[in-house]
Structure formats: structure tokens, C-alpha cells
Amino acid sequence: MVHSIERENNVSTILAKLFNEIFRPNPLIAGRYLQEYFEKNDSSFESMVRDVLYSEMNKDKKSKLLDEIVKICVAPGKSPNLDSIITYNFDDILEYKLKKTDMPIPYKSVYGIGIEVRNDELPIYHVHGYLPESEKLTESHKITFGESNYHQQYSDIYSWNNMVQINKFRENTCLFIGSSLTDPNIRRLLDIAYKQKGNKKKHHYIFKQRMDKQKLSENLKITLESEKVLKDKNKAGLDFDETINLLSEIYERFEENDSASFGVKTIWIDDWQEVPEMLKKMRENVA
């Protein structure tokens, strides 16, 4: 009997991995399914997500990006450098890094209604929910993961997390790190804030990685196997390298124009490893 149960578990695990690899289900659909499954079995969905989230995370791993963000966080109540941080992550890795530093950095994790922030504290807004590794999880730690949660947040414009984002997008200059600006709710909130600014339209900024020309080259070769596309290309008289360069330029203009429609200027990078050094220069110039 024990062997039978063990075999069933192994089969289920293998099939789940194969299903994800072959069909790559939409994350919202997968999240909705998982949430409903745990609710029907009276289990904590948030606890399960937390277990998976921290199972392979090494909080002490060196990160130049996090180290630089921590330095920007120094003295938030006394320095004009940083008003607050908005994160769409559930984890507490930033809070962990802040605790580990030798510098006293007062901060407050905000993940629900009624959490007050003192003037000398740096607010870290977890607008999609917060799952600290060691704390007891409560009703306040609900996360925006499944489709139903997302729909609820999207429909309630006056929810605390939506209001925080609108206010910060409207009143401050924001820097987006690791965001693609494809989330429909974030786009909607940026749009609202941009319109509310009126003539006082400060720009936000976003880091975006340039198109990998090697990957673009590979994709173009596959696309050119289509006879119709090949004929159109030959009519235009474009050689392969010229086509690559023109497509890269069109892509960057397309992305820049999209971000600009929300009042966000694009900072292009070739590699994400460049970001810590750029943050350092920004910090030193403001200080």
C-alpha cells in the first residue's frame, strides 16, 4: 500500500512537470486552479506559495543590485533620495537585506489596510501581498496570484494598494526596475495618474534590455523560411544584417513610444548587470 501511494505521488510529480513543460499554462489560469484546489481542501494557499518561494532561495547570496538598493534606502525620512518602495514581489528578501546591514535603516513593510508608517520610516509597499518567511501568516497576508484576486484588485479602484500606486505615480518620479509594463492593472493606474498630473507631468523612468541580436537573428532565419516573407524582403532589397538593425530600431521605438504614453522614459541597457552601477551613479549625483 505504501509503495502504491509512493508510486502515485511520483507519477503525479512527473506528469505535473511534463504538463508545465509541454503546455506552459497561463500563470493566471494555473494560479486560479491552485487557489481553488487549496480552498476545497481547507489548506492554506499562501502557506504553500511561501514554502515553494523560499525552498531554493539563498537570502545571503551576493547581489550587487540589492546592495545598491539598500544603500539608496539609507535615512529615508531625512533624505530626499527615496520616498518609498513599491514591490510586486511576495518575498521579504529586501527586508532581510536591510536588517543585515550595519547601517540603521528604519523601514515598514506595508501589505494591508491599517499599517501606519512613521515619518522616519521607509515604506515598502507589497501591493500584491506579502509572505514573510518566519512570521505567522494571517488574513492580511493574502496575495494577488490567482485570477479571482487579480479581478478583485482590478475592479476596486479605491483599494489601498491601487490608491498607493496612483498617489506615488502622480506625486513622485518613479524608477521601474525589472518591470515590463505589461500588467494591465499597472498600465491602468499609470494612465490614471498621468492624466491627474495635468500640466505638472514629471517623468518616470524604466530600465529595458535591448533586443538580443543573436536571438533576433535566429528568429529571423526561421521567419525567412516562409516563401512570402522572403519574396517581400527581396523586393525591399535588404540584406540580412541591415534587416536585423532595422528591426532592432523599430522594436526600441515601439517600446519607447508605449512607455512614453504613460509618462515613462526608457533607459536602454545591454545587460542587467549594468543597473547596479547606474543606480550608484544616480545615488552619488543626488547625494
Query: Residue 86: is its pLDDT beyond 90?
Result: yes
The predicted-structure confidence for 193-227, as pLDDT tens digits, reads as follows 999 987 776 799 999 999 998 888 888 888 777 65
Residues with Cβ within 8 Å of 138's Cβ and at least 6 positions away in sequence, in order, are: none
pTM, entire model: 0.82
Task: Give the containing element (helix H, strand E) for 208.
Answer: strand 204-209
The residue written with cell numbers 533586443 in the block is: 211
Cα–Cα distances in angstroms (integers) from residue 266 to residues 205, 211, 260, 269, 280, in the given order: 6, 14, 8, 10, 18
Q: Identify which of 155, 125, 128 has the alpha carbon closest to the alpha carbon of residue 142.
A: 128
pLDDT of residue 56: 87
Q: How many CA atoms does the CB half-sphere of 143 hold within 13 Å?
A: 24
Cα 264 from Cα 282, distance rounded (Å): 17
* Range in 81-90, 112-121, 176-185, 212-221 with the lowest mean pLDDT: 212-221
pLDDT of residue 59: 94
The more confidently predicted of residues 99 and 42 is 99
pLDDT of residue 15: 58
For helices 275-286 and 64-72, the axis angle rounded to 10 degrees is: 20
> What number is the average pLDDT over the span 6-34?
64
Name the region of 180 (left: φ>0; alpha: ψ -120 to 50; beta: rest): alpha
